[in-house]
Structure formats: structure tokens, C-alpha cells
Amino acid sequence: MEQKVAIKIDDLTVAYNYKPVLWDIDLEIPEGVLMAIVGPNGAGKSTLIKSILGILNPIAGSVSIYDKPYKKQRQLVAYVPQKGSVDWDFPTTALDVVMMGTYGSLGWIKRPGQKQKKAALEALEKVGMLPFKNRQISQLSGGQQQRIFLARALVQNASIYFMDEPFQGVDATTEIAIINILKELRKAGKTVIVVHHDLQTVPEYFDWVTFLNVKKIATGPVKDIFNDDNLTKTYGINYKVSIQE
Amino acid sequence: MDLKEYFSLVFNDYTLRTITLGTAILGAVTGMLGSFAVLRKQSLLGDAISHAALPGIAIAFLITGTKDTNILLLGALVSGLIGTFWIRGIVKKTHLKSDTALGLILSLFFGFGMLLLTFIQKQPNANQAGLDKYLFGQAATLVESDVWLMAIVTGLCVFVLLLFWKEFKILLFDADYTKTLGFNTKTIDVLITSFIVLAIVLGLQTVGVVLMSAMLLAPAAAARQWTNSLSKMVFLAAIFGAFSGVFGTAVSATQNNLSTGPVIVLVASVFVVFSFIFSPSRGLLFKQIRFIKNRRDLELHKTLAFMHQIAETHQDISHPHTVKILNNFQGYTKGTLKKLVDKGFVKIQSNMWSLTEQGYKTAANLYNQQTDSNE
């Protein structure tokens, strides 16, 4: 099966104060996969996503989305940051946060209108948060906040979704709700890339995986490369996990 | 002069009217912009900017030799901007955290400014007196043209806020995400910061270098207590700021030797204290009241739940039982029993109680209801 390449990364190197965080990463991500990025703390998982999205400036390397530089393809890409990256006491409502997903397509100055509101409400419905639309965001639980972030990305109606630890600190119900939405996205032909920590659930949730520890260790279909050998190479200790085929 | 006299004079007396208008406008614009500083957790930025403006005033005087307010404030603006962007540079290029950078620039610029002021005062020149008024401000020196300048800057600020409202809001909430949407976050950031610098510099004449940051923070901190909407917060902060200006001026006008700037800051602080205590959703008072009410409700629920437990064992739920089997341990007091009767959950006949139909139902759904109201 010949798959189109959604994201192509060449020689990407990122450093904070001379210390390399990502070293010479080459990576091709085919269209339509649900991919986990796994690796130990400090392996550069979030950094990889942030460099692809232009939040961080790499020292070297290039990123292309469907054969064009990322800057020209922004509207194809949506991002779900780590939940802890913002101040949830900010004076705004759930609906308002989800509406922010429409700002990119609106561009400068133009205000969101009825059309944008409708899209935001639909996204809230999809993540099961419609009853909370007028809730002040600090009064949402951690799982609900994560769903709001997911809804904000869904509103962008992108082809490629980047998510930074969407399962961090959420309960089982939310985790299942989120993974179902991710699987739906894949079914619709979208590419979803997730920074993931729970190795146990990788085979169950994802069909593609990238092992990362400053350097790229391996990338490919979960059923081919998610094995003890690669886990040991990535985490540095003999990492025994049971792989459910 | 008492307050009544002040308010009757304010519309006729030129000086009073000018000062009152000036401080009101200043309070409004700093309140608005202060909301952004507070929400960006850059509360100290205002302090650094105002202190960084001092050498600019001194240098402007040394170069031109005049004490024209506009020229001195232009100097303040330039050095304030230099200080601000220096802070940004330090944070970006070094390991230093922003509080360290703020502190460094604040003391460096303020120290240099004080040095220049002392130097100027030693000069054999009659013209130099009065520059030190920029330390604590002197509202009495406001003239009509100063107020016009403030009004124009405020108008411009409101216009820019309305125009870029969406961009400001999203940058404040989630800067990284804003970047991925294709907005140039640096442009938005520079725009906000420049306006903050401008508002602070405009306030130096009235409130002074040392106290200026309070004008930025106090109205915004007070406003945050009353609302969970950004637009309402900015609006309220402007109102609080303006009122602080008017009341501060009024109070200082009624007494001799009360300098206006500090009084305005004190009035603004009163707004803060009042808001921290009396805000319905975030205030300390209502938090305490809610806490006490919850505890009482819990006692009531405990008693009701215990009664339900007993009533359940009988065919007839209204079967009477003696009051004596209830005790403190189940949250029972005469007061709770009376409350249950008032609510129609329980009937009392001599020394016997019995659950009503309604009371039984409520008791059975006690904890279900709680989860419902949570969701």
C-alpha cells in the first residue's frame, strides 16, 4: 500500500543553550496514521512537536507538510498543547476558548461571528462538553479542560493534529472519549500525532509509533517495531512490556 | 474645603476640573492596560518601566534645559522603552528569569536616574528646581494640554484594544497556540507593551515614578474579583481606576498638604481590599459564609440520612420514633431538627418524630442529587 507522506522532517536539530535536545532527526510520517511519540522524560518529545509547529526555532533542519514548507501549510495543522501550559484561572468561558480555534482562519482583526460560534458549539458537542459551554474555565475538571483543548483543535478542521500528552491527568472516561475521537479522526483520513507516556496502551490506541530519545530510535507500524529491543534502546534499561498482538 | 464643596467647585473651578479630569482619564487608561499586565503575570513590569523612565526625564532636561512637561515625558518614554526591551532581551538571551531581569533593570535605571537628579540639583542654575516632583508626582501641575494628551492616548488605546481584541485575548491566554495559528505574537506583544509604557509615562507627572505601578495593578486586581469575563474585567478596571482618580483628587483637595498621587493610590487600594473581601464569587467573606453554610447543610443531611436509615426498616415510613435516639453524633441539635420541620421533611408530635413523604424522598436522593449538581 503506497501512502502519501504527510510530514517530512530532515536533519532537525534543536538545542537549548548549547545542549542538544533533538539531534539530527529524519522522520517521515505517512498520511492517515495515528502515531504515538514515546520516549523518556527529556527525550525531546514536546520539543519535536513545537519545532514542527514553529513555536521553537531549530538550529538546523527543515519541516515540510505535504511537500511544502510548514509556514505555507498552517491551515492544515491543529495543535493541542499540554494542559498545564496555560493559566486556567483566565477570565473566560469554555465556549470562548473553543472559539479561539477559529481565529487562525479569520486572520487579523476580523471578529468571530455566527458561523464560528456554530462550529465551536458543534466541537463542544463532539467532546461531550456542550452543557458546560458557559462555564468559567477554572471551574472545569482536568479532564474537562483537556476536552476543551481538544474541541478547540477540532474547530480548526485541520488535516494533521498534534497533541502534547492529551491523556495526562485525565480519568478513564475522558481517556476513552478522547481516544475514540482520535480514532474517528484517523477514520476520516486525518493524521494524528500524539506525545504519549503510557506504554501499556500504545498497541491498543495507535497504529504507528516513533521512539525518540534525543535521536530518533525507530519509527514505523506498531505491530512491526513496538518491541523490547526498541524499548530498551529508547529507555536504556531492559524494558519488558507485554505486547498485545 | 469639604467634599461637598469640592464637588460643587469641580465643574466651575479650572484647576480642580483639570486635575480631576486628568486623574480620572489616567486611572481609566492604566486600569485597562493593567488588566493585561496582571493577566500576563507581568505585574512587576509596570514598576520596572516607571523606574526606568527616570533617567530619561533627567537626560531630557540636561539636553534641552527646559522643564516643558512634554519634552521631559518624551525622554521618559524613550528610556522607559529602552528599559522594557532590555528586560525582554535579558529574559530571552540569558538564563535569568524575568523577575531577576525586572529587578536588575529597575534598580539600574532608577539608580542612574537618581544620580542624574542629584547632579542636576548641584548645578548653579536656578531652573533646575522641581524635577524631583516626578518621583512622587504632583497632580497640581497638570494643565489642560496635559489632559488633552492623556485623552488622545486613551482614545487611541481604546481604539487599538477594540481593533485587536481577539489577538490580545488569545495571546494572553495561550501564546504558543497563537503562534501556531499564524499570528505574529511578537507584534501583538510589542503593541501591548508599548501602550503600557505610554500609559505609565503619562502618569509620571501625576502619580510619580515610585507609586505608578499601583495605578496599573490595583484597579485590575480589584476588577478580577468581580467578573469572569475579560471584557468586563477591562471595563471594570477602567471604572475603578477612574473613580480612584476622582476620589483621590477630591480627598486630597479637601485637606491641605495631602499630595494627590499617594491619595489616589490609597483609594485604589481601598477598592482592592473591598473587592477581596466582598466579591460574591471570589471574596473572602462569601467564601467563609459558603463554608459555614455547607457545614450546616452537612449536619442537616447527616440527621436526615440517619432518620432515613431508621425509617427504611419500617413498612410505614412515617412511623414515629422518639427524639432520644438522635444524638449529636448524627449532626442532631434542636436547631437542625427545627430546620428539618421548617422544610417539611419531618413532623414532630410531642417527643416523637416521623419522616414525611417528601423528607423520605429527599433523604433517599441526598447523594444522587449531589452528583447531579456537580455535573
Q: Shortest CB distance from B224 goes to which of A91, A100, A104?
A: A91
Q: Using the beta-carbon criterion (under 8 Å), do B173 and A90 form an inter-chain contact?
A: yes
Residue A79 bridge partners (DSSP):
A162
How far, in Å, CA of A245 to CA of A106, rounded?
45
Q: How far is CA A119 from CA A96, A157, B144, in A?
A: 12, 9, 50
The alpha-carbon gap from B307 to the nearest alpha carbon of chain A, in Å, equals 34
B163 close to A (CB below 8 A): yes
A12-21, B67-76, B98-107, B344-353: range with lowest mean pLDDT = B344-353
How far, in Å, CA of B364 to CA of B362, rounded?
5
A7-11, A162-166, B43-47, B121-125: range with lowest mean pLDDT = B121-125
First to last CA, chain B: 58
First to last CA, chain A: 21
Q: Using the beta-carbon criterion (under 8 Å), do B95 and A85 form an inter-chain contact?
A: no
Q: How far is CA B271 from CA A49, A160, B247, B276, in A?
A: 45, 48, 11, 9
Q: Shortest CB distance from B228 goes to which of A103, A111, A136?
A: A136
Q: Shortest CB distance from B167 goes to which of A54, A92, A108?
A: A108
**Quick one: pLDDT at residue B86?**
93
Q: What is the DSSP string of A14-55?
A: EEETTEEEEEEEEEEEETT-EEEEE--TTSSHHHHHHHHTTS
**Quick one: pLDDT at residue B374?**
39
Please report which confidence band the pLDDT of residue B371 belongs to, taking 50, 70 and 90 as the band edges.
very low
Helices vs. strands in chain A: H and E counts, helices first:
9, 10
**Quick one: pLDDT at residue B101?**
93
Please report which confidence band the pLDDT of residue B1 belongs to, taking 50, 70 and 90 as the band edges.
low
Q: What is the DSSP string of B23-40?
A: HHHHHHHHHHHHHHHHHT
Q: Which three cell numbers stand for residue B234?
A: 477591562
B228 close to A (CB below 8 A): yes
**Quick one: pLDDT at residue B155?**
96
pLDDT in tens, chain A (245 residues): 557 899 999 999 998 877 889 999 999 999 999 999 999 988 999 999 999 999 998 999 999 999 999 889 999 999 999 998 999 999 999 999 999 999 999 989 999 999 999 999 999 999 999 999 999 999 999 999 999 999 999 999 999 999 999 999 898 989 999 999 999 999 999 999 999 989 999 999 999 999 999 999 999 999 999 988 899 889 886 555 544 44
- List pLDDT tens digits, range B203-251: 999 999 999 999 999 999 999 999 999 999 999 999 999 999 999 999 9
**Quick one: pLDDT at residue B225?**
94
B53 or B65: whose pLDDT is higher? Answer: B53
pLDDT of residue B171 exceeding 60, the answer is: yes
Torsion of CA A24, A26, A32, A38, to 10 degrees: -40
A53 close to B (CB below 8 A): yes
- Rounded to the nearest integer, the mean pLDDT of chain B is 88
- List pLDDT tens digits, range A189-198: 999 999 998 9
Contact B80, B49 (CB under 8 A): yes
DSSP strands (E only) in chain A:
5-16, 19-30, 34-38, 60-65, 68-69, 77-80, 160-164, 191-195, 208-213, 215-221
pLDDT of residue B375 exceeding 80, the answer is: no
Please report which confidence band the pLDDT of residue B200 belongs to, taking 50, 70 and 90 as the band edges.
very high
